[in-house]
Structures are given as C-alpha cells and as structure tokens.
Structure 1
C-alpha cells in the first residue's frame, strides 16, 4: 500500500521536473512556458492512465457491486498523491503567469512576494484547490476504506471522468499562447464540451441509474439506500462539474460571437 503511494509521490513531481528541465535546456523555452506546458502534460498523462484503468475495471466487472479488480485499489493509491502535487503545480503556473503580466493580479512587488502570490492563487483557484483537497481528504478514504471492497465497477466509471482532462489542458495551452482562433482550438473545443458533458456532468446521474438497475428500484429511491458518503460526494462534486461546464459553454459562446462580429477580412486572416 505505502509503496504505491510513494511511487505516485515520486512519479508525478518527477515527471513534471523532467519535462520542465527538458523544455528549458533542450528546447530553450522560458521557465514560465516550460512550467505551464509541463503541468498540462502531467495532468493529461494522469488522465490517460486513469481513463485506461477505468475502462479495464468497468469492462471487467459483470456484477457492479461484488466483482473485484486489483487495479481499482492500486490506482487509487498511486494517483492520490497527484492531487496534492497538482495544487502546487497550478500555483507555479499562476505565479509564472502573473510575473509575465507584471505582477498586477498577484500583488507582487519587484522582489516578488510569495505570500501575495499564494493569496492571489487561492482567490482565483479556490474551487479547484478545494476540489483537490476534497479528493485527498474525503474521496481517498471513501474509495479505499469505506466502501469495504464493494462497487469496483462504480469506481472504474468514476475514473472515466478524466477523459475530458486532455482536451481541457490542450484548450488552456492554446489560449495561453494566443492560438484560440485556430482550427485546432475549435475542434478541441467541441471535443472538450462533448467529453466534459458526458464524462462529468452525466456521470453522477448514470451511477445512480446503474445502481437502480442492479437493485431493481426506481432511480429516485437510490439516494435513500446509498451510503451517506456516496450521497455527500455527489452533492459536493456534481454541482462543481455543472458550474465548470457552464463556464466552458459561456466561453465557447463568447468566442463564437467574437468570430461572427469580426470584420470579414479579420475572419479570413484568423484562418
């Protein structure tokens, strides 16, 4: 158990450092560019690993409650340190962005105030930080201990939520480097909306639906028989996914309006 946690604690920060050093030394990138891209790269790789594990687990469990798969607990142990690492990695991204912008939002002075940067980061990314803290403090024990070896299928389906992460990361990188008018950004935006809606927004209703079929009870009765940890997790995580999906849709709508309102010559240049 501890060996898997230790492996994850070394793997994700180690991959980030190796990627950052490679981009800076071999590619000649600036520290800020290397940090941003390395963070997105590690997040995307973790998402691919989690999604792959989810596919294997969900497809292997015929009985959604009783069937077990060794990969379930193993990946939970390995991936949990990622969420702690990602809080720090996102802070590094935020600090680099604010340094490029001249320290306005972070409130940094010429010498650079780490405390001001931390406060600015927490103000901007409070929901994401709370989400990651909740994943470690609540979802880890709930997934590993409280479910008492049952429901590996549901845990595998939960891993599939990460399917949307690579497109989200790519979209942020393209926006960061002013590539939001390219065809790649538009195609990625459609993919991001589809995967985020299906793998995050519809995910939690599907879990209740799947259990209702297993137990032969109406969907509305599932919260009455489900463990309180499951209901609490859904009550806290599902609204966040809906909120973030709304932000994605709003951003896509804003971009579409800008494109439609732009003069024909500008639209042609952007393509």
Structure 2
C-alpha cells in the first residue's frame, strides 16, 4: 500500500515538473513560467483522466457479478491516484496565482496569504471536492466497502473521460482561441461527455443495481442503505452545478457567434469570454481576467 502511494506521490508532481521544464527550455518553445505552469497542470490532469478511465474500463468490463467480482486494479489505482488530488490542490493554486498576475506588473501581485484566501474563497467547491476525495472517498473505497462492488468503482472511474476536453477548453481560452472551430467542437464534446460520464453516471449506477437485484429503478433508493443515497447525492450535486455552467458557457459561445455575423451588432455589444466550468480548474470570473501573455 505505501509503495503505491509513494509511486503516485512521485509520478504526478514529477510529471508536472518535467512538463513545465520542457515547455520552458525546449528549443522553439521557451514559454514563460506562467504559461508553462498552467499548461502543465492541465496536461497532468488530462493524463490522470486517461489513466483513470482506462482503469475503469478494464475493471467494469471484467466484472460479471457487479457486487462480488473483484479486480486487483481497483484498490491499486485508488491508492495511486490519491496523491494526485493532494498535488492538484497546490497545482490549481499555482495556476490561480499566475492568472492573477498581469504581464508586466508582477510587482503588483498579491501577497501569498491574500492569494491563498482568495483562492480558497473562489475555488471552495473544487477544493472541497478534492479534500472529500482524499478524506472520505479514499477510506470508503479501500476499506469500508470490504472488496465488494468493484464494478461500481470502475464505472465511477469513467467519470474522468470528460476531463481532457475540459482541460483543452481552458487552454484554448488561455490563448484566446474561443473563435476557432476546435474550441467549438471541443465544447460540444465536453458538453456530451460531461453529461454522460458525470451527470448520468449516478442514475446509471442505480439502474445497474436494480437490474442486478431484479427490482424497479424507483425502488432502488429504498432498498439500499441511506449512506449510499446520501453519498451519491453529495457527489452528484457539484457535477450538476458544473454541468449547468458548461451549458451556460456553450449558450454564450454560440450566441456570441451568431451576433458576430449580424452586421447591425457592434463589437461593443458582444459578450465577454464564455464561461467555462471550474471542474479541475477555475471559475468563469477567473477566465475572463486571464492575462494576454501571447
């Protein structure tokens, strides 16, 4: 157990530092510290998402009995991924810190204590989500469930399928590429994957258990311990909130595009940068204040 935790503690921060160094020193790139930090954080989040989704697919497809069947990868990847959520809290703060610094005015950057308070206030929900993953979901998944329900754990890993598109969207916003076809296609992909993999995830888990127990879907909440219902509700609530932000951002993006093609609409009437969800990142207000470093 300790060796797997140690491996995760080395892998994710190490990957972040390696990516940042390559972006800053590679010939033809020579990115600034701020750009390298922000893109490296997104890259690590995307890689973690690919690893988690791959593990989830292997686990879910290997379990015929959704309650009793076990797969060694379930607890192994949970242990490996726990350090990621701790690292990511710090990585998100670094991104927030550099976003608050306008190019050419680094001397006006806020004090560290002020920045931390502001970061915790603005990103409270995301930080809370990460803390809960470490302090609650980790012990529940590894110890409390006593090796049962690996199938459900694997399906929950598949929620990370939406993360790469979220990260790419934030990078495109950072480089002011909201007008590109790539941003629109990625936005549509993010909308679909987030809804399917995060919002529909919990109803599907209830449906899967209903089939296993041969009971109607509406009876499932009444036939399982209340702790499961409460846990599902607490995990699903922020996903629904973030999905609403994605929908709002998509609406503003396509509204802006339609207004842009109207000759009677002036540039001053166009909306600001579309809002993106804070999932694995930052709030809409922060994306609008991103410094134009290119």
- Short-chain TM bin: over 0.9
2:18 match: 18
Is it true that 1:181 corresponds to 2:183 in the alignment? Answer: no
2:48 match: 46
1:146-195: per-residue Cα shift (whole Å, max 9, x none)? 11110000000000000000000000110111001100001101100010
Give every structure 1 segment of 4 or more consecutive aligned residues whose post-TM-superposition deviation is greater than 4 Å. Answer: none
| In 2: Cα distance, 1:102 partner to 1:83 partner | 32
2:206 match: 208
| In 2: Cα distance, 1:263 partner to 1:220 partner | 48
1:207-238: per-residue Cα shift (whole Å, max 9, x none)? 01100110112222222332444222211111
1:159 match: 157
Give the CA RMSD over aligned residues: 1.9
More helix by share: 1
| In 2: Cα distance, 1:223 partner to 1:136 partner | 26
SS in 2 for 1:123: helix
Q: Residue 191 of structure 1 is aligned with which of 177, 189, 192?
A: 189
SS in 2 for 1:99: coil
**Cα deviation, residue 109, structure 1:** 7.2
2:217 match: 219
Does structure 2 conserve the Cα–Cα contact (< 8 Å) formed by 1:7 and 1:78? yes
1:6 match: 6
Mapping of residues 218-257 of structure 1, within 5 Å:
218-257=216-255
Alignment length (residue pairs): 263
1:130-157: per-residue Cα shift (whole Å, max 9, x none)? 1111111111011111111100000000
Mapping of residues 52-63 of structure 1, within 5 Å:
52-63=54-65
2:90 match: 88
| In 1: Cα distance, 2:77 partner to 2:204 partner | 22
Mapping of residues 132-143 of structure 1, within 5 Å:
132-143=130-141
| In 1: Cα distance, 2:103 partner to 2:24 partner | 20
| In 2: Cα distance, 1:37 partner to 1:215 partner | 46
More deviation in 216-225 or 168-177?
A: 216-225
| In 2: Cα distance, 1:72 partner to 1:229 partner | 21
SS in 1 for 2:101: helix
Does structure 1 conserve the Cα–Cα contact (< 8 Å) formed by 2:100 and 2:109? no
Does structure 2 conserve the Cα–Cα contact (< 8 Å) formed by 1:43 and 1:165? yes
Mapping of residues 104-115 of structure 1, within 5 Å:
110=108, 112-115=110-113
Q: Which runs of 5+ in 1 are unaligned?
A: none
Taking structure 1 as the reference length, the TM-score comes to 0.93
1:62-115: per-residue Cα shift (whole Å, max 9, x none)? 000011110001000000111111010000000000012788xxxx97364100
| In 2: Cα distance, 1:16 partner to 1:154 partner | 30
Mapping of residues 26-45 of structure 1, within 5 Å:
26=26, 27-45=29-47
Does structure 2 conserve the Cα–Cα contact (< 8 Å) formed by 1:139 and 1:233? no
